[in-house]
Amino acid sequence: MIHVLGIETSCDDSCVAVINDKYQVLSNVVSSQTEFHRRFGGIVPEVASRKHLEYLPLVLDQALRDAHLDLENIDLVAVTQGPGLLGSLLMGVCLAKTIALFKDKTFLGVNHLEGHLFAIRLEYPEIQPPFLALIVSGGHTEIIAVRDWGKYRHLGSTRDDAAGEAYDKVSKFLNLGYPGGPIIDRVSEGAQGDRFHFSAGLEDDDTLDFSFSGLKTAVVRHYSSLKEEEKKDEKLIRDLVASFQESVARVLVNKTFKALEIYGFSQIVVGGGVAANRHLRAKMKEEGEKRGVQVFFPSPSFCTDNGAMIAACGLFHWERGRKDSWEMDPDPRLPLTSIE
Residue-wise pLDDT for 187-235, tens only, equals 999 999 999 999 988 998 899 999 999 999 999 999 999 999 999 999 9
User: Rounded distance, CA 199 to CA 257, Å?
Assistant: 18
Supply the pLDDT for residue 40.
79
Question: How far apart are alpha carbons 279 and 289 in whole angstroms?
Answer: 15
Confidence of residue 159 (pLDDT cuts 50, 70, 90): very high
Cβ atoms 14, 57 nearer than 8 A: no
**How much is the pLDDT for 38?**
84
Is 80 exceeded by the pLDDT of residue 340? no
Superfamily of domain 128-300: ATPase, nucleotide binding domain (3.30.420.40)
Rounded distance between C-alpha atoms, residue 175 and residue 193, angstroms: 19
Rounded Cα distance, 27 and 15, in Å: 11
Residue 339 has pLDDT above 80, yes or no: no
CA distance to 128, 211, 231, per residue, from 220 (Å): 42, 16, 12
CATH of segment(s) 3-118+302-319: 3.30.420.40
Same fold, 3-118+302-319 and 128-300: yes
Confidence of residue 42 (pLDDT cuts 50, 70, 90): confident
Question: What pLDDT digit, counting tens, does each position of 290-310 carry?
Answer: 999 999 999 999 999 999 999
The domain limits of the chain are 3-118+302-319, 128-300
**pLDDT of 233-274, one tens digit each?**
999 999 999 999 999 999 999 999 999 999 999 999 999 999
Residue 105: half-sphere exposure toward Cβ, Cα within 13 Å: 25
DSSP string across 186-238: HHHTTS-TTSS----BTTTSSSS-BB-HHHHHHHHHHHHHS-HHHHT-HHHHH
Helix, strand or coil, per DSSP, at residue 10: coil
In three-state secondary structure terms, 276 is: helix
Q: What's the rounded mean pLDDT across residues 39-65?
A: 93
Please, are residues 245 and 279 in contact by the beta-carbon 8 Å criterion? yes
* β-sheet with 14-20: strand ranges across: 25-31, 14-20, 3-8, 76-82, 106-111
Range 161-180 average pLDDT: 94
Give the model's confidence band at 127: pLDDT under 50 very low, under 70 low, under 90 confident, else very high.
Answer: very high
Mean pLDDT to the nearest integer, 160-171: 95
CA 295 to CA 284: how far, in whole Å?
7
> Smallest Cα–Cα separation from 87: which of 50, 115, 41?
50
Per-residue pLDDT at 286 exceeds 70: yes
When the pLDDT of each residue in the chain is averaged and rounded to a whole number, the result is: 96
pLDDT at residue number 36: 79
Alpha carbon distance 246, 82 (integer Å): 31
Tell me how crowded residue 278 is: count the other CB atoms within 10 A of its CB.
14
Kindly report the backbone phi and psi dihedral angles of residue 88, in degrees, each rounded to the nearest multiple of 5, phi listed first: -65, -45
